[in-house]
Structure 1
């Protein structure tokens, strides 16, 4: 196909047969070069950053890092044109169309696959590639309801490896990521839009909501005692009751934390 740009593609799907089927179809097209395939989001992220393909065919429903989360984790300057491969219902498909995100439904039809590639080429002909990528990220963020920052913290800390609660919390500051073992955290308190994570005498500051951080912590070990405070239960050495219905918790470090009345039912977790 003289004069037609060759598109470098990656196929991302956790089902080996699905990957093989799509790869065979793409390889039959003279202007498509499949440079890689991947069975999970974490591996796909590494390959996309390394190989920088032009287009990525991404299955949405994958264990660990799913297709929508994968797209959010890719930096905008490395984000290929994304064609979602999905078995989602019509409502999700409509959401993709509204946000100009392309898709092919499983089982994949030849005509629909060719249309998707035509749309990719049309987008590549548009000079405003950066803006298209930004729109894609915004569309995916609307669907997942999770920010790229939160997803990155989950990925780095190992939360997508299979455990419901990561062993380490990823604290990103000035381009550096510090992995703080959850077991070393004494308590956490809020300071405006930031969380202060107190561990082994050090304070780590991270931009995340209390709710998002709470979801990363095992409730068997961590409990919220105030709208702005989470405590490691194993660090509490003394509980002091006050006449106004509040409690004060004294930690091993000597730190004294206030438990508000609305959380006093949590006392049973310490006993």
Structure 2
């Protein structure tokens, strides 16, 4: 049985697809989500084999969600779309599986068969976006979309990856690796990223450790490995 998550903002479309999948068998639906932010969280927690992903969703689209996942742990993706010639061309050029709404049972059956037989993971890089402008975060009883250029520090904490901006402190499901690759943040420590635009000072301590203080007073640890690089970026050569 393949473990699957269905992500679609239309309840009716979601229910219909789940019903069809249950009839065909071989697929165990472990979660269903009405938006990409919940989807991202469930993918990270449940680690499905396959995700049936609607492309046109409000706030964060299916394509943006792909860009937020770590390529190393990425599940197989079956795109679900109302007819869109650009999307379909992109999928066909890269041999990705897609289902057109309304979904035909025969086509779905073919897709399931292909998924069961698939021995290698898809490479979704051609569809992944190079930059992420809005970072989905969850705070106290709220979901926040934080512009990536406003984030001053990202760090690994007990609660997950914590982001600090001038006014916000929130947790995201994105990994430091994805944030480092797709936002203005750069690595300054194994557990910290910093936005170079917000560096106010670098404090060098007697014991050889260092820390960065941002314009709004946030602190990020700096390890020796990255200190030289950061000084060079800021034009400090001593």
Runs of at least 5 residues in structure 1 that lack an aligned partner in the other structure: 1-5, 184-190, 206-271
Q: What is the DSSP-based 3-state SS (H/G/I as helix, E as strand, rest coil) of the residue aligned with 2:198?
A: strand
Q: Which residue of 2 aligns with 1:241?
A: none
Runs of at least 5 residues in structure 2 that lack an aligned partner in the other structure: 169-185, 187-194, 200-214, 222-238
Q: Which residue of 1 aligns with 2:58?
A: 63
Please state how far the C-alpha of 1:48 moved relative to its aligned partner: 1.2
Please state how far the C-alpha of 1:78 moved relative to its aligned partner: 2.8
Please state how far the C-alpha of 1:10 moved relative to its aligned partner: 1.0
Distance 1:53 1:163 in 2: 25
Please state how far the C-alpha of 1:182 moved relative to its aligned partner: 5.3
Residue 46 in structure 1 maps to residue 34 in structure 2? no
Residue 179 in structure 1 maps to residue 179 in structure 2? no
Q: Which residue of 2 aligns with 1:196?
A: 197
Q: Which residue of 2 aligns with 1:120?
A: 115
Q: Which residue of 2 aligns with 1:139?
A: 126
Please state how far the C-alpha of 1:94 moved relative to its aligned partner: 1.4
Alignment match of 1:110 (pick from 105, 129, 133): 105
Alignment match of 1:155 (pick from 136, 141, 146): 136
Please state how far the C-alpha of 1:23 moved relative to its aligned partner: 0.5
Distance 1:53 1:157 in 2: 22
State the aligned residue count. 176
Relative CO higher for 1 or 2, CA cutoff 8 Å, sep ≥ 6? 2
Please state how far the C-alpha of 1:178 moved relative to its aligned partner: 3.8
Please state how far the C-alpha of 1:157 moved relative to its aligned partner: 8.5
Question: Which of the pair is proportionally richer in helix?
Answer: 1
- TM-score, normalised with respect to structure 2: 0.62
Distance 1:99 1:61 in 2: 19
Q: Which residue of 2 aligns with 1:244?
A: none
Please state how far the C-alpha of 1:177 moved relative to its aligned partner: 4.4
Please state how far the C-alpha of 1:173 moved relative to its aligned partner: 6.3
- TM-score, normalised with respect to structure 1: 0.55
Distance 1:51 1:163 in 2: 23
Q: Say whether the 8 Å CA contact 1:56–1:80 is kept in structure 2.
A: yes
Q: Which residue of 1 aligns with 2:23?
A: 28
CA RMSD, 1 decimal: 3.3
Please state how far the C-alpha of 1:169 moved relative to its aligned partner: 2.1
Q: 1:201 to 1:140 in 2, by over 3 A?
A: same
